[in-house]
Amino acid sequence: MVEMQVHKIGLSPDGEALVILVDVEQTRLMAIVVGTYEARSIAMELQGEKFERPLTHDLFADTLAAVEQVLERIEVVKLEGGTYYALMTLRGPDGVLRQLDARPSDAIAIALRCGAPIYVADPVLAQSQILFSDLEAAEEVDKFRELMETVELGETQQGSSPPPTAQDDEATETEDEP
């Protein structure tokens, strides 16, 4: 397993929402296509923006705390047919570890809220990684720069792109209410 961090979240040139993960040594990148809602939720957490009422990922993190479960880690464990699979490892007050199947986008959003580390299995990373050393070829550098320039929703530490606003999600939230 390789520890990864969310580097950037945004949109691909095709309009798909992406989470860009980078290993802690910053030698490898990996992109995962995610849903728009999950991308917004992750971007809001990265930017420290809070919605007036808890979003689904906030509610799940709060529920874990209320039932005394600690999210120890999340792991992206499989890539099959273009679909990524993840596991969330929880530790209860009894010390027993339990694993839950999860979509990587949800697992990442919850891990950020719980302060849990993100890991990617070596075989998954081998299939989908972009090595910084491979980016030395001019053609690959141009492709990578083009991709990174189009990723616009939000960034981690150095980002200047604004995250989506809570107003974007407000209409969706109020539609569900009675």
- The tens digit of pLDDT for each residue in 168-177 reads 443 334 444 4
Give the single-character DSSP code of 55: -
H/E segment holding residue 123: helix 122-128
148 has a pLDDT exceeding 80? no
CA 49 to CA 43: how far, in whole Å? 8
How many other C-beta atoms lie within 10 A of the C-beta of residue 24? Answer: 11
Domain boundaries, the chain: 2-161
Give the single-character DSSP code of 91: E
Lowest mean pLDDT among 63-67, 112-116, 135-139: 135-139
- Collapsing DSSP states into helix, strand and coil, what is residue 158? coil
Q: Is domain 2-161 given the CATH code 3.10.690.10 in the classification?
A: yes
- State which amino acid sits at residue 64: L
Q: Provide the whole-model pTM.
A: 0.75
- Count how many Cα atoms sit within 13 Å of the Cα of residue 86 in the half-sphere of its side chain: 22
Q: For the CA atoms of 29, 159, 86, 14, what is the dihedral angle to 10 degrees?
A: -70
166: confidence class by pLDDT, cuts 50, 70, 90: very low
19 has a pLDDT exceeding 90? yes
Place of tokens 């890991």: 119
